[in-house]
Amino acid sequence: MKKIAVFTSGGDAPGMNACIRAVVRSCIYYNVECVGIFKGYDGMINGSFITLDGKAVSNIIQKGGTILKSARSLEFRTPEGRKKAYEQIKKEGIEGIVAIGGNGTFTGAKLFYEEFGIPIIGAPGTIDNDLYGTDFTIGYDTAVNTALEAIDKIRDTADAHDRIFFIEVMGRDTGYIAVRSAIGGGAEMAIMPEKKVSIKDIVAKLSYNHEHTKSSHVIIVAEGEVEGNAIEIAKKVKKALPNLDSKVTTLGHIQRGGSPTASDRVLASRVGIGAVEGLLAGKTNVMAGIINRNLVFTDFETTITKKKPINKELINMIDILSGRSPFHE
């Protein structure tokens, strides 16, 4: 293999640039030409390629976002769009691809490989940490620390005014960010898809705590919670407890930005190198991930379809660390 392409797709995540850098530096190390594809699958369809050398990826390891940009491609979801992409890839002489992204990115990569046989290896780039086949995904650690910094500041205000703060964090289908930021931020509760918590439960705990232990509270809400987003949950609680002063903060896309943590830079570098070495070793249609500190490859089908559960111990920790509740009386 003499020419490998790399692209980023889907939601951006801190550490994507570190992964791009690792792919390029690995290609240089193994004497392979490296090409960057701008704007994900759209760029593949339109032939938006650029040669990447050592200088191109200098001084980017600490930067958030992605120098290759990202986009969601409706055209690539069609057979005609994928055929256009294949023709551009062949025209450019690309023999292997590193796809940095999440579930949607890998779904497209799997289809592309099955239809045209271009070797592809994925690198897990998503702050949600919801990909099976890796302990952590690129950007997750940074997103948690960004949320935690905001939670610490909000708690100061909550204490000063005896308020309840409902803080919404990202996590459309999973509560990975919610559970760790709740533990690290000393939250009284975390409401997320993996743990069923009713409005009645929330009201009971807030009433008990307000009467027996404390008057300020921080409650973390994952955006994918079945009871609704933080605003909706706060309204329902306010209706039941009209005398309690409550506020809502939605952290939103600030969790995606910023300089990646050391953990995310190291993870991104490991899977970036692993993806290139995997391609050179003949692997394809797999994601490079880290499990128990070891580099592993998991086929796209498993990565996409298999649910990655949150450790129940982490969920239980929130209840234990938040103090006694009415459920123990």
The active-site residue, picked from 12, 42, 128, 130, is 128
Inter-residue contact 195 to 175 (CB < 8 Å): yes
Share of the chain above pLDDT 70, in %: 97
Within a 13 Å sphere around the CA of 302, how many CA atoms are in the beta-carbon half? Answer: 11
128 catalytically annotated: yes
In the chain, what are the domain boundaries? 3-139+260-305, 141-256
Whole-angstrom distance, CA of residue 109 vs CA of residue 286 = 9
For residue range 158-212, what is the model confidence (pLDDT) as tens digits?
Answer: 888 888 999 999 988 899 999 999 999 999 999 998 888 889 999 988 888 777 6
Please write the tens of the pLDDT for every residue from 272-313: 999 999 999 999 999 999 999 999 999 999 999 999 999 999
Check if 3-139+260-305 and 141-256 are the same fold: yes
Residue 133 to residues 97, 121, 263, 286, 307: CA-CA distances in angstroms? 19, 13, 18, 10, 10
Find where tokens 């986009």 sit. 71
- Give the span between the Cα atoms of 268 and 181, in whole angstroms: 21
Which amino acid, 239? Answer: K
- At the fourth CATH level, which superfamily is domain 141-256? Phosphofructokinase domain (3.40.50.460)
Structure tokens at 193: 């898809």
Mean pLDDT of 33-62: 97
Instruction: Tell me the pLDDT tens digit for each residue of 42-56.
Output: 999 999 999 999 999
3 state DSSP class of 55: helix
Question: What pLDDT, on the 0 to 100 scale, is given for residue 213?
Answer: 66
Per-residue model confidence (pLDDT) at position 180: 97
Is domain 3-139+260-305 given the CATH code 1.20.1200.10 in the classification?
no
Does pLDDT of 34 surpass 60?
Answer: yes
